[in-house]
Amino acid sequence: MYPAPFHYHRADSLQGAISLLSELGDSARALAGGQTLIVWMKLRFDEPQHLVDLGRIPDLSRISQEGDEVRIGALATHAEIAGSAVADLLPIVRDCGSGIADAQVRSRGTIGGALGSADPSCDWPTLLHTLDAELTCTGPEGTRTIPVSELVEDIYTTILKPAELITEIRFRRPPANSGGSYTAFKRCAPAYPTASAGVQLTLEDGDVCSDIRIALGSAGLKTVTSEEAENILRGHALTEASIDKAAEAIVAAAEPVPDQRGSEDFKRAVLRTLVKRAVDIAVRRCHGETIRGHHEYV
Amino acid sequence: MNRKSSDTPIEKTTLIGKRVRKPDAPDKATGKTRYINDMVLPQMLIGKILHAGRPHAEIVSIDVSAAEKLPGVHCVLTGKDAEGLRFGFVRDNVALKNRVRCEHDEIAAVAAETEEIADRAMALITVEYRDLPGVFTPEDGREKDAPQIHDDFPDNKSLHFEFRHGDLAAAEAASEIIVDNVFRVHHVTHCCMGTSCAIADFDSNGKLTIWSQTQYPYNYKMDLAPALGMHPGDIRVMQPPVGGAFGSKLDVYPYEPIAALLAKKTGRPVKVMFSREEEFRSSPTRQPAVIHMRTGCTRNGTLTFRSADVLLDNGAYTSWGPTIPVVMMRTTTGHYRVPVVHFNAQAIYTNNPYAGSFRGYGNVQTTYATAQQMDMLAEQLDMDPIDFHLKNAQQSGETTPQQAFLRECALDECLRTAAQASDYSAKHRRYTLAREQQGRYKKGIGLASSIHNAGGAKIHKSDGCGTILKVDDYARVTVITGASEIGQGIDAVINLIVAEELGIPLEHVTIVNDDSDIAPWDVGVHASRTTFIAGNGARRAAVKARQQILNAAARMTEIAAQDLDLRGGFVVREDCGTKVIKLEKLLRRMHFQPEPELVMVTDYYEPNSEPEGADHRSDHSAAYSHAVHVAEITVDTHTGEIRVDRITSAQDVGRVINRMGLEGQIEGGIAIGLGYALSEEMQLEKGMLKNPCFRDYKVLTAPEMPELDLHFIESNCAEGPYGAKGASELPTIVIAPAIANAVYNATGIRFFNPPLTPEKVARAIWDRQQTETGPSADR
Ligand SMILES: Cc1cc2nc3c(=O)[nH]c(=O)nc-3n(C[C@H](O)[C@H](O)[C@H](O)COP(=O)(O)OP(=O)(O)OC[C@H]3O[C@@H](n4cnc5c(N)ncnc54)[C@H](O)[C@@H]3O)c2cc1C
C-alpha cells in the first residue's frame, strides 16, 4: 500500500504555508504529523498532488497558561501535551493525550491534525468540546476564532476555508471545584476507540452540580453533545438515577455507526457505561482524589 | 605450566537452570540485526504477486503484454509458467494458478527493477474472471450439491483421520453423566512481525540458493523441489534472521517458488516480500474446526469415555494444517485417564484462506473443548474441579490408548501447584456463590490443563538432528547444528550446554545454523522438539569433544582422564579444582604435536521414539508433558470486557536449562493464547478477509499482559538433555479454555466459540438477563 505520487513542500512560516496552499489550490493538503493523512493516502481515500509540511514552522507547538487561559499550539503532539504542565494541572488532558494509540503515533500526531481531520474517532475534539475550547484559525483572509463545536460540518469535513489553518487551541482553565475525566473503550491499547466520553463538571456546596459538559466520540458522524442530558444534571445534586437518566439522554442523541469495532446497540451500551464512568471519576476528582485515568481496553 | 595465571583452584559450578541471554539479543534490541527483509543482493530484482482478490473463479483470459512492455520490468509469469509443477502435502497446489480457489490465489508475478515499477506493472495486467459459487464452511462443503473445489478431490474431502479404542456404546451405557457439546473455533493467523519474504538466485550450473524464513530447511528442499521441477539436492537453503515464524514457515508457500521461477527466468536474484496486508491475506491460518465432543463419567467421578467428531475447514489447499488431527487425537485420547476413546476428523476443502501449522498444532483447538468439558463434568458431579482432575490424572508409568508411554508424568504436581499458588478451590467456590448476587463486576477463576509431546514427534521416518562441533586452537567452539533459530532460543540453549560441558565462557561459543550446505540434517522447529532433540545432540557432541580433550590432557599430564575436569577455560583436577593446563594451550599442543589431533566431532541424535504409523498407535515422542493454567479474570457485565488479572502456570518442563529463555517461551505462548481467547479473529465474509491490518485484527500488546506466576515443575526426564522436556507449545494450548472456564465461573455462561470479545460476552449476558432462566450458552 503506497500513496499515489505527490509533491512535497516544506513551509518555513505560517504565512508561507498559507500562500503555498492557496497557490496550489484544491490538490494540496497541509501535512502535520501525517498519522491520519498518510494513512488515508495509502488507503487511497485521498490522493492529493501536493503536501505542504507544517512541521518546521516555528512556535506552532507551544503549550502555555496565561492567567486562567490555556493555549496549545496546533502542532503540539499528543505526547507533548500529555507530558506538559497543563496535563499535570488538568488530569482530563492527560487522560486523553496519553491514551491515544501507541507511542509512535503519540509522538508524531498533533492536536491540530486531529481537529483538521474531522474524524469522529479522534479523541482531542471530543475532549475539547467538554472544555468549550476555541480555535484560532488563520487563512488568506486573516485570523478568526471558531468555537470547537462549529468546526466540523460533517464527517471528515471542516468549515475551514481553502488554505485556512488552525494555529492555536484555547480554553479557560476550569475552576478549582471542577473535575474532569476522559475515557475511551478500546479493543486494545494501540487502537482507535470503539467509543469515548468526556465529562467536565463543577460541584458547589452540598455536591450540587453547578455546571457540566458531556461529549461523546466515535458515537456518530460528529462529536455528540446533548443539552438535554446536561440540563438533567445541572443545578441538582448528582444521584445515581439522574446520572443514569442523563447518560440515557445523551446516548439517545448518539448515532453510532456499526463497524468492526462493534454493532450499534453494543456501542450504545458502551457509551452509557463510559458516561457513568467519566462522571464518577470527575466527581471523585472534584473531591480531590487522584485517579490515574486510563482508556479502557480488554 | 603457566605460572603467571592465578593458582586459585576453580570450583565446580553449573550453568543449567541459569538465566542466559540469547546471543542475538543485543543486536535485536539495538536494531542491528539484518533480517531477511533487510537483505539486498547486487543486481537484485523485486518480485510482486498479483492475487486474485475473489474466492472462487475461472480465469477466462489474462493479458500481461502491457506489463511486459513497461520499462524496468524483466519478466511477467502466469499460470502457464507453473503448469504441472504441483506441490504441497497432497500435491494440490501450484505456484501460479489457472483457476482461483481462494482470495489470495497467485495469478501472475512480476520481476522489476524497483518495487514501484513492479506495482505499476501489476496494475497493467488485465484478467477476466468468471466467478463461481463458493464453499465457505466445512458443513456446506460436505453438502451433496456443493461446488467442487478440486477435480481430483471428490466431495471436497481432504484428509481423514480416525482412531478407535474400546467399546463406545458400552462405555456410554455405563456412564452416569455425559456432556455433549459443539465447539466452533475460529480462524487466526500468526502475525509475524517480519512479513513473509524469500530471495532466490540461480548460479550458472542451475543450482538454486534460496534465502528463506523456513523453520525446516531440509524437508523444505524436498517440498520446494516439485514446485520448480528440480532435484532437492540442487537447492541450497540460507536462513538469515527472521521476525517470527510460530509454525507459519513449516511448509512451502507459493511466494517461495514464485521468487525462484522469477529468478530462473531473469537470471537475476529476485526478492519477494509481503506487505502487511498481503501477510494477513496470504499467510496460513490456524485451522478452524467444528468439534463435537462427548465425555462421560460415573457418579463417583471416574471418566468413562470421550468421543470427538471434528470437522476441519481445510481452506483451498492442503498444507500441513490439515494434519493437525494427529495431535488433536492425542489430547482427545490421552488427556486424563480415559479408557474408551473415539476420534474422527475430516478436513473439507473450502474457498477460505488455507490453514498451516501454528504453535500448539491442533491441540489448541481440542483442548478448548476437553478442558471445558472437564469443568462441566465437575460441576454436574458437584465436585471441586481440582479433585475431579486429580482423580483422573495419569501417573508415571501409564500408557495412553494411543500407546504414549508417560515415563515421567507430573500432571498431579502441576495441578496441585497451580491450584495452591492461585488459591483455586476457595476462590472457585466463592465466585460461584457471588454469581447470583447483584453487582456489575464479576470475578472468576478457571483451570485448564493439557498434554503435549515434549520429546519430538516422530511423524517422519527420523526425528533426529545432526551436530558438528569443533574446538579451535584458542578454545573457541563452533557448533554447526541442524536446528533452526527462529526466535525460540535454541541458540542460547546450545550455547549454554556446550559451555557447561567444556567449561568455557558462554561468549566463546559460535553457532552456525543458517546454511543447508554446511549444517547437518534436522527435521525442523516444530512439536516443541528443538531443546530436547538438538539440545541432546549438542550435549552428546560436547561430551565427545570433552572426552577427547581430557584423554589428550591425561596423556600429557599423566593424570587419569576421569580425575580431570574442564572449568573456566582450564583443565583442572576433578577433586580439588587445581589448574592443570590452560585449555587453549592444551588444544594448541594437540594440534602441533607430532601426531596432530584436531578436536572436531559429529553426532546424530535420534530420539528413542516410534514412528507415528498409520494406525496412530505408537509411542511417537520420547517424552510427554503437561501444563496447568489457572486464569483469574474480572468481567464487566455492562460492557462484556474481560480483564485478565492473573495467570498461574504450572508446567512440567523436565528440567530448566536456560531459565530466561524458558520464561520467554511461556510468556510468549500465553500472549498468543490470550489473543486467541479474547481478541484475535480473521473476519471472513465469503472467503474475503475484512480485517487485513493491525488496526482491525486485534493482537494483544504489552500493556494488556496480565500478571504471570510461572511455576516450573522438574520431573527430570531420563531421555532429555539434563532431564529437560520440550515446553513451548503447551502455554498457548491451555490458556483459552482456562479463560473460558473462568468466565463461566464468573457469569454462569459457557462460551463455545472463541474469541470472547466484549460484544460477544455482553450479548450473552443481555440475552440471559432477558430470559432470566439462569445459566445459558452463547450462540
Ligand atoms: C495506528 C493509529 C492509531 C490511532 N489511534 C488514535 C486514537 O486512538 N485516537 C486518536 O485521537 N487518534 C488516533 N490516531 C490518529 C492520530 O491521533 C493522528 O495523529 C491525528 O488524528 C491527526 O494528527 P496529525 O498531526 O497526524 O495530522 P495529519 O495526518 O498530518 O493531518 C490530518 C488532516 O488534518 C489536516 N491538518 C493538519 N494540521 C492542520 C492544521 N493545523 N489546521 C488545519 N488542518 C490541519 C491535514 O491537512 C489533514 O487533512 C491514530 C493513528 C494511527 C496511525
pLDDT digits (tens, 9 = 90+) for B491-538: 999 999 999 999 999 999 999 999 999 999 999 999 999 999 999 999
Contacts of A186 in chain B (CB under 8 A): none
Q: How sure is the predictor about B703, in pLDDT bands with cuts at 50, 70 and 90?
A: confident
Mean per-residue pLDDT for A87-95? 95
- A44 or B19, which is more confident: B19
CA A80–ligand 1 middle distance (angstroms): 15
Phi, psi of B465 (to 5 degrees): -150, 135
Q: Which domains does chain A have, with CATH numbers?
A: 7-53 (3.30.43.10), 63-172 (3.30.465.10), 178-292 (3.30.390.50)
Q: Write down the pLDDT at residue B323.
A: 80
Three-state DSSP class for B343? strand
Q: What secondary structure, in 3-state letters, does chain A show?
A: CCCCCCEEEECCCHHHHHHHHHHHHHHEEEECCCCCHHHHHHCCCCCCCEEEECCCCCCCCCEEEECCEEEEECCCEHHHHHCCHHHHHCHHHHHHHHHCCCHHHHHHCEHHHHHHCCCCCCHHHHHHHHCCCEEEEEECCEEEEEEHHHCEEECCEECCCCCCEEEEEEEECCCCCEEEEEEEEECCCCCCCCEEEEEEEEEEHHHEEEEEEEEEECCCCCCECCHHHHHHHCCEECCHHHHHHHHHHHHHHCCCCCECCECHHHHHHHHHHHHHHHHHHHHHHHCCCCCCCCCEEC
Phi, psi of B256 (to 5 degrees): -75, -55
User: Side by side, which strands form the sheet with B157-165?
Assistant: B157-165, B340-349, B303-315, B289-297, B177-185
DSSP label at residue B754? S
The percent of residues in chain A predicted with pLDDT above 90, rounded, is 90
Q: Which domains does chain B have, with CATH numbers?
A: 25-30+464-605 (3.30.365.10), 45-132+203-245+249-273 (3.90.1170.50), 289-457+613-771 (3.30.365.10)
Mean of per-residue pLDDT scores for chain B:
96
> Going by C-beta distance under 8 Å and a sequence separation of 6 or more, which residues neighbour residue B394?
B336, B337, B400, B406, B409, B411
Q: Report how far apart, in Å, the C-alpha atoms of B107 and of each of B51, B115, B226, B267 are.
A: 6, 18, 19, 22
CA B502–ligand 1 middle distance (angstroms): 58
Q: Write down the pLDDT at residue B778.
A: 40
Q: Write down the pLDDT at residue B197.
A: 98
The residue whose CA has the least distance to atom 3 of ligand 1 is: A101
Contacts of B695 in chain A (CB under 8 A): 191-192
Length of chain A counted residue by residue: 298
Mean per-residue pLDDT for A229-257? 97
Contacts of B641 in chain A (CB under 8 A): 185, 296-298
Q: Write down the pLDDT at residue B330.
A: 87
Q: Write down the pLDDT at residue A295.
A: 63
In one letter, which amino acid is A243? I
- B80 or B779, which is more confident: B80
The percent of residues in chain B predicted with pLDDT above 90, rounded, is 93
pLDDT digits (tens, 9 = 90+) for B98-145: 999 999 999 999 999 999 999 999 999 999 999 999 999 999 999 999
Residue B452 CA to residue B627 CA, distance in Å, equals 9
Residue for cell digits 471434528? B310
Instruction: Answer yes or no: do B119 and A2 touch at CB < 8 A.
Output: yes
Residue for cell digits 432462566? B773
Contacts of B690 in chain A (CB under 8 A): 260
The percent of residues in chain B predicted with pLDDT above 70, rounded, is 98
Q: How far A115 CA lies from chain B's nearest CA (Å)?
A: 21
Q: Give, for B450, the enclosing helix (H) or strand (E).
A: strand B441-453
Mutate to test the pocket of ligand 1, among A117, A137, A144, A167 (most ligand atoms within 8 A of CB): A117
Q: How far apart are the first and last CA of chain B?
A: 79
Q: List b or e across B505-530, with b for residues whose CB sees 16 or more CB atoms inside 10 angstroms.
A: ebebbbbebbebeebbebbbbbbbbb
Q: How far B704 CA lies from chain A's nearest CA (Å)?
A: 7
Mean per-residue pLDDT for A63-90? 96
Ligand 1, pocket residues at CB < 6 Å: A 29-37, 39, 74, 100-101, 105, 109-110, 112-114, 116-117, 122-123, 160, 165-166, 190, 192-193; B 695
Q: Write down the pLDDT at residue A294.
A: 64
| Nearest atom (ligand 1) to Cα of A193 | 8
Q: How sure is the predictor about B702, in pLDDT bands with cuts at 50, 70 and 90?
A: confident
Contacts of A270 in chain B (CB under 8 A): 639, 758
Q: Write down the pLDDT at residue B779.
A: 35
Residue B144 CA to residue B420 CA, distance in Å, equals 53
Residue B62 CA to residue B77 CA, distance in Å, equals 11
Mean per-residue pLDDT for B269-296? 97
In one letter, which amino acid is B45? L
CA B245–ligand 1 middle distance (angstroms): 33
Instruction: Answer yes or no: do A260 and B691 touch at CB < 8 A.
Output: yes
Query: For residue B599, how many C-alpha atoms fall within 13 Å in the half-sphere facing its CB?
Result: 32
pLDDT digits (tens, 9 = 90+) for A157-174: 999 999 999 999 999 999
Q: Has residue B777 got a pLDDT over 50?
A: no
* Vertex A26: Cα angle to A20 and A32 (nearest 5): 60
Q: How sure is the predictor about A298, in pLDDT bands with cuts at 50, 70 and 90?
A: very low
Mutate to test the pocket of ligand 1, among A10, A14, A105, A153 (most ligand atoms within 8 A of CB): A105
CA A105–ligand 1 middle distance (angstroms): 9
* Vertex B545: Cα angle to B539 and B547 (nearest 5): 100
Q: Tell me, rounded to whole angstroms, the distance of Cα A126 from its chain centroid.
A: 4
Cell, residue A285: 476528582
Q: How sure is the predictor about B5, in pLDDT bands with cuts at 50, 70 and 90?
A: low
Residue B299 CA to residue B382 CA, distance in Å, equals 10
Instruction: Answer yes or no: do B679 and A189 touch at CB < 8 A.
Output: no
Tell me which residues of chain A have a C-beta less than 8 Å from any C-beta of chain B.
1-2, 102, 185, 187-192, 260, 262-263, 266, 269-270, 272-273, 296-298
Q: Write down the pLDDT at residue B4.
A: 53
Q: Has residue B776 got a pLDDT over 50?
A: no
pLDDT digits (tens, 9 = 90+) for B398-427: 999 999 999 999 999 999 999 999 999 999
**CA R_g for chain A:** 19
